[in-house]
């Protein structure tokens, strides 16, 4: 009898409207198996209850042009089940699409006016730098950056004592190298391999400005950037930076959801958790290491910079609504932009014991989706 009443209510359109969460195959398998993943789908469900919508989870392969329904996972009777639901008018993208053909297919499936935010969630680091450089007020917060070709690297060697060379596209700290001036020449610290496990590091030293074969080989194999090294503030002797979640919310406007500090492992300079980094609350680090810096003042500086970055990028890059910014601060508390992540790995907040902020990083995209449902003139 309960099932029949539920169907009657659904037929009367009392079922909360569906909001789509576009996911990759790996997460889709995890939902079906019930195993936990970096993405907490339960928090989307809780946010849906709060905002009066029903999140449903599906892949690109589940979409077809002109379809009126989509096969998706929905939370029902305390478990996730696959069922055909009305194709959502608003979709939040949490999947990565490495090929342009996948984006073309996605565009074909959205040709009927459905709204997809964060459609592209990975942009080249050099493109992001150029877009931010167009705003003169942001330039003091941007390290000098260029494409990593031999002439550009050697030019920066004449200007700075330390440089970072990293893949133009990629995440979790893979493939990053550091160059430092020494008394006799230069030293390169680099990962032995480009795997996803915690990387093993080696160093080589040389004299003069000629680049070693290791650097030449890597920058010829794929696109890298070279960047002025930012002298990060440290915690217990290790450098740290900040992951700043910036999202559109229920009023359609950008806001800062939270800040979490990422501290590099001992004897390395990479702060990513996938490479062994640890997470802390910013107030913990400032209280213990920098008592002269006011938490309120530093948070205000980070907020102002993050809002200007989000507004500048969203002028040019369409459909952006959910960003994870890596922001460094110097020992004097001055914020510097490092890079922008279009698919924020939100679990950094969970690992730092910031459960409320972690939940908010899921709540805000659902709240923004509800905003779009009410104001469907565009993203």
Q: What is the pTM of this model?
A: 0.90
What distances in angstroms separate CA 148 from CA 7, 19, 184, 212, 213, one per listed residue? 59, 41, 23, 14, 14
Q: What's the pLDDT score for residue 269?
A: 79
**With DSSP H G I counted as helix, E B as strand and the rest as coil, what are the percentages for the chain, rounded to 5?**
35, 30, 35
C-alpha to C-alpha distances, 197 to 37, 114, 172, 194, 200, nearest whole angstrom: 17, 38, 10, 9, 9
Structure confidence at residue 120 (pLDDT)? 86
Cα distance between residue 219 and residue 225, in whole Å:
9
pLDDT of res. 195: 58
Supply the pLDDT for residue 10: 43
Distance CA 49, CA 59 (A): 22
Tokens at residue 50, please? 């709060």
CB distance 227 to 333 below 8 Å:
no
Report the distance separating Cα 115 and Cα 113, nearest Å. 6
Three-state secondary structure call for residue 75 = strand
| Spans of the chain below 70 pLDDT | 1-14, 36, 171-173, 193-199, 273-275, 377-379
Q: Take residue 194 and report the two structure tokens written for it.
A: 């480009």
């Amino acid at each position: 009898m309960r099932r029949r009443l539920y169907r009657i209510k659904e037929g009367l359109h009392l079922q909360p409207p569906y909001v789509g969460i576009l996911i990759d195959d790996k997460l889709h398998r995890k939902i079906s198996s019930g195993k936990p993943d970096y993405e907490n789908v339960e928090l989307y469900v809780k946010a849906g209850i709060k905002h009066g919508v029903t999140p449903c989870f599906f892949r690109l392969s589940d979409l077809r042009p002109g379809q009126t329904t989509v096969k998706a996972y929905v939370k029902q009777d305390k478990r996730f089940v696959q069922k055909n639901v009305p194709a959502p008018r608003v979709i939040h993208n949490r999947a990565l699409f490495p090929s342009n053909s996948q984006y073309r297919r996605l565009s074909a499936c959205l040709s009927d006016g459905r709204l997809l935010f964060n459609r592209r969630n990975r942009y080249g680091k050099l493109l992001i730098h150029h877009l931010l450089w167009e705003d003169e007020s942001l330039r003091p917060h941007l390290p000098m950056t260029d494409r990593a070709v031999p002439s550009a690297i050697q030019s920066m060697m004449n200007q700075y004592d330390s440089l970072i060379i990293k893949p133009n596209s990629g995440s979790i700290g893979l493939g990053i190298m550091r160059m430092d001036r020494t008394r006799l020449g230069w030293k390169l610290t680099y990962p032995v391999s480009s795997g996803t496990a915690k990387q093993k590091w080696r160093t080589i030293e040389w004299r003069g400005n000629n680049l070693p074969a290791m650097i030449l080989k890597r920058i010829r194999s794929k696109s890298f950037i070279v960047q002025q090294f930012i002298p990060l503030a440290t915690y217990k002797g290790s450098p740290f930076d900040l992951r700043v979640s910036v999202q559109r919310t229920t009023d359609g406007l950008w806001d800062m959801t939270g800040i979490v500090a990422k501290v590099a492992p001992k004897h390395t300079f990479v702060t990513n958790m996938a490479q062994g980094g640890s997470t802390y609350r910013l107030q913990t680090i400032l209280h213990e290491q920098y008592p002269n810096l006011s938490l309120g003042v530093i948070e205000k500086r980070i907020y102002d910079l993050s809002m200007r970055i989000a507004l500048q990028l969203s002028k040019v890059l369409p459909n952006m609504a959910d960003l994870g910014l890596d922001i460094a601060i110097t020992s004097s508390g001055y914020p510097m932009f490092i890079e922008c992540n279009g698919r924020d790995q939100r679990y950094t907040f969970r690992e730092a014991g910031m459960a409320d902020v972690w939940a908010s990083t899921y709540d805000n995209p659902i709240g923004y989706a509800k905003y779009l449902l009410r104001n469907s003139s565009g993203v």
